[in-house]
Structure 1
Amino acid sequence: MIIFNASVLDFYQIITPIITVAYLLIVFVFRSIIVWRQSGVNPFVFSSTENAHDYLGFIYKMAVLFMAITIVCYSYLPAVYQFLNPIPFLLRDSIQMVGVALLLISFLWTLIAQVQMSDSWRIGIDYDEKTELVVKGIFAISRNPVFLGVVVFYIGIFLILPNTLSFTLVLVMFITVQVQVRLEEVYLLETHGEAYQAYKNSVRRWI
């Protein structure tokens, strides 16, 4: 069994919730407000219907909720955290530092992608508005940089606090995002036609 210096553990217990809250507020809440004010369109287009698209939105919400639960337990409720089945052999300072680095990289990468999308950014597929096809900047090397950033963020969380729940969340997000991007590809092909097909042929889905 590996015993860690308490100050090292305290660092991760403090920094993880700080980065996560900042990530959610700046990347999703504040950016949504900015786009809404600039375009007059609410970028959050998931609703509460039973169709596949909106069910993905429900999964995203639950993933954020359970991510918050595992972080709160890790940082503030260590006795409860033990019930999440921590993975001891992954709980190493070097691995956790990689996790923090991934959180910061994901934060910056996702924010840049959203800024480059400008008013075209949406949370979900906006079937009512035709948004501009963004192909420059980060989008010249990845067709789905925001989704890529989100998955990397969940991987970072898992590396910082490796347990059964955080590992499950990585799997759930990876599968959910795979479905989401394929739904978007159909929509974008129908909306932008040959322009999107050419973009799809020249830029990878991920990186």
Structure 2
Amino acid sequence: MIWLKFYLPLYLVLYIAVAFVLPSYRTYKQTSINPITFGKTDNAHDYIGFVMKVLIALLFMTVFIYALGDRAYQYLVPISYLMKEVFLIIGLTLIHLSLLWISVAQYQMSNSWRIGIDENNKTELVTKGLFSYSRNPIFLGMIISVTGIFFILPNAVTFFLMLSTYFVIQIQIRLEEEFLEKQHGEEYLSYKKTTKRLL
């Protein structure tokens, strides 16, 4: 589909803007705090941040290779039996619902938004809105969006990205949960008892 070759790269740029750039800018302007906390040390937290950047870069690379044409796309090892209209529709539905979901969660998180763990500035524990259904709605949206990309472009690389994203996010969630337990104590422990990790 010709339109998809143009639309997917534009969608990814919009996704990065909505999921990361705009909320980070908003938080910085309102609090003067840099919400990006991943550094360059060798600890687990910063390593996960590095892996996430690599996965995002691979996602962009995959979509742009697809946009270049069918000959280049063959190098990504397409999974032909999944290249059906029903999976394309499912994938497009997932990426748009996930973007809407992430946008709402970002709005509800407000200035508590961070990329990584902020050990220097205490944030408010957000438990209302989408956060009453999922302790990690933004991470859930990210998993759904990468799954949607796999359904749209079923190939070896997007399959690897879908699995890798899931496991890396699960590790990051556990690092953040350990930190939030220390920061919010009983309030967070009570929240864990009533709200699922993802959904």
Q: Is the 8 A contact 1:12 1:160 kept in 2?
A: no
Alignment of 1:34 onto 2:26: yes
Structure-1 separation of matches of 2:9 and 2:73: 15
1:43-122 pair list within 5 angstroms? 43-122=35-114
Q: Which residue number corresponds to residue 144 of structure 2?
A: 152
Gap regions ≥5 residues in structure 2: none
Structure-2 separation of matches of 1:144 and 1:159: 23
Q: Write the letter of the residue equivalent to 2:34.
A: N
Shift of 1:80: 1.6
Q: Which residue number corresponds to residue 11 of structure 2?
A: 19
| Aligned counterpart in structure 2 of residue 203 of structure 1, from 189, 195, 198 | 195
Shift of 1:71: 0.2
Q: Is the 8 A contact 1:155 1:170 kept in 2?
A: yes
Give TM-score scaled by structure 1 length: 0.94
Question: After TM superposition, which residue ranges in structure 1, 4 or more long, deviate above 4 angstroms?
Answer: none
Shift of 1:48: 0.8
Aligned CA-pair RMSD: 0.9
Shift of 1:146: 0.5
Give TM-score scaled by structure 2 length: 0.98
Q: Write the letter of the residue equivalent to 1:130.
A: K
Structure-2 separation of matches of 1:137 and 1:176: 25
Q: Is the 8 A contact 1:141 1:204 kept in 2?
A: yes
Gap regions ≥5 residues in structure 1: 1-8
Q: Which residue number corresponds to residue 174 of structure 1?
A: 166
**After alignment, is 55-64 or 20-29 more displaced?**
20-29
Structure-2 separation of matches of 1:169 and 1:150: 12
Q: Which residue number corresponds to residue 191 of structure 1?
A: 183
Q: Secondary structure at the match of 1:14?
A: helix
Shift of 1:27: 2.0
Q: Write the letter of the residue equivalent to 1:140.
A: S
Q: Deviations over 1:50-69 (max 9, x none)?
A: 10000000011001100001
Alignment of 1:128 onto 2:128: no
Q: Is the 8 A contact 1:44 1:123 kept in 2?
A: yes
Q: Is the 8 A contact 1:143 1:205 kept in 2?
A: yes
Structure-2 separation of matches of 1:96 and 1:39: 41
Identical residues among aligned pairs (%):
42
Shift of 1:15: 2.2
